[in-house]
Amino acid sequence: MDDLRKFYGEMLLLRLFDQQCMDLKKKDIIYSGYHPYEGQEGVAVGFCGALREDDVLLSTHRPHCHAVAKGCSLESVLTEMMGRVTGCSGGLGGAMQFLAPEDNFYCGSVVGSNVGLATGFAMAMKQQGTDSVCMCLFGDGASNHGTFHEGLNLAAIWSLPVVFVCENNQFAEAMPVEEFVSCERISMRAKGYGLEEITVDANDVEEARRVAGEAIEKCRRGEGPVFIEAVTYRIKGHYVGDPEATYRDPKDVEAAREKEPLKRAKDKLLAEGVEQAELDAMETEVLAKLAKLEEWALQQEFPTLENAIDHVGIALENAPEVRGPQSLAL
């Protein structure tokens, strides 16, 4: 029960952080596009939280909870999405394209592109002779992209230490998964390339962590790669402002709320004797922490032109001249 209590606390933090970020997006304090994560916390805690510091995680256009679960600080993630210099990419990446190399975390908004990058990271790990592992998270829609198939094939041929995790939240933006995948399970696609394939109910955070741990250890032993389909459900729209009622029945969303990972963990904890007052106290503590975080983040400065050029690796004085009203030397 101690593990479940810990997992519940971590998922609660991610849930409330995500809600905070949605509010900031609605106020235009988060400037770039923002993709809510509610309902998928079992994946972040179950999988990302199973990695070591030296393991590499490649995420998607919905990366904020993955990043925090991997070990990136709330401060660096929030201020990155707010475009402040204290962000993990100096406020230049925004909510979908930030990097935190010191935490071995990378993400990008090009769907499916991280599968190929993960294969490259894993190839480097194997050549260097380390027991580090690369984990690559991507959505169900990415499984239709060419880079997905190329990456899986190459990883299998070279027996690379990479765990591919398909975060199946049932929708590729507005299209239900059954409309673009013909097989019963997305994980079945991996079998054609010779990968071990596993499907797990990621709303059960304990089971998700068990499956993640076994897959990671297999890769550490040089027996990878492994493909896992983590089945979950996206409670909110694809993005803030998404007209989701046009493509799914609100009754389906309400039914999914009864099975989502935070409620599932809470119900189990209560059934095992944990007091509601303890869980309420956890929530109060997290809300207070996030309130202080937001107050601090709003005081941080925005990048300058000099800050911006630092992150592309070219000294400002050596950059070619670019003319125009909004020119930026690159």
pLDDT tens readout for residues 92-112: 889 998 989 999 999 988 898
Q: 44 near 69, Cβ under 8 Å?
A: yes
Consecutive H or E run containing 200: strand 196-201
Q: Which two tokens stand for residue 120?
A: 């490259």
Q: What are phi and psi of 192, to 5 degrees?
A: -65, -20
Write out pLDDT tens, residues 64-75: 999 999 999 999
Percent of the chain topping pLDDT 70: 93
User: For the residues 236-255, what does the mean pLDDT come to?
Assistant: 89
Element (H, E) at 20: helix 2-26
| Secondary structure letter of residue 164 according to DSSP | E
- Type of residue numbered 115: V
What pLDDT was estimated at residue 311?
61
Output the average pLDDT for the chain. 91
Task: Find the Cα–Cα–Cα–Cα dihedral 211, 5, 236, 52, rounded to 10°.
Answer: -50
pLDDT in the model for residue 179: 81
From residue 73, alpha-carbon distances to 147, 261, 272 in Å are 30, 23, 32
Evaluate whether 162 touches 190 at the Cβ level (below 8 Å).
no
Which of 184, 191, 156 is closest to 168 using CA atoms? 184
SS in 3 state form for 215-281? HHHHHHCCCCCEEEEEECCCCCCCCCCCCHHHCCCHHHHHHHHCCCHHHHHHHHHHHCCCCHHHHHH
Do residues 156 and 197 lie in contact, with contact meaning Cβ atoms separated by under 8 Å? no
- Classified as helix, coil or strand, 166 is strand
pLDDT-based confidence at 172, cuts 50/70/90?
confident
Q: Give mean pLDDT, residues 215-236.
A: 95
Q: Is the pLDDT of residue 327 over 50?
A: no
For 256, other C-beta atoms within 10 Å of its C-beta total 18
Mean pLDDT is lowest, of 67-71, 78-82, 167-171, for: 167-171
Q: Which domains does the chain have, with CATH numbers?
A: 2-318 (3.40.50.970)
Residue 244: C-alpha distances to residues 17, 234, 240, 249, 272 (Å)? 22, 11, 10, 9, 37
| In the predicted structure, residue 281 carries a pLDDT above the cut 70 | yes
Q: How far apart are CA 180 and CA 175, in angstroms?
A: 8
Under 8 Å between Cβ of 141 and 111: yes
Task: With beta carbons less than 8 A apart as the criterion, state whether 229 and 167 touch.
Answer: no
* Among the listed residues 156, 164, 143, the one whose alpha carbon sits nearest the alpha carbon of residue 216: 164
The DSSP line for 310-322 is HTTT--GGGSPP-
φ, ψ for residue 305, nearest 5 deg: -60, -40
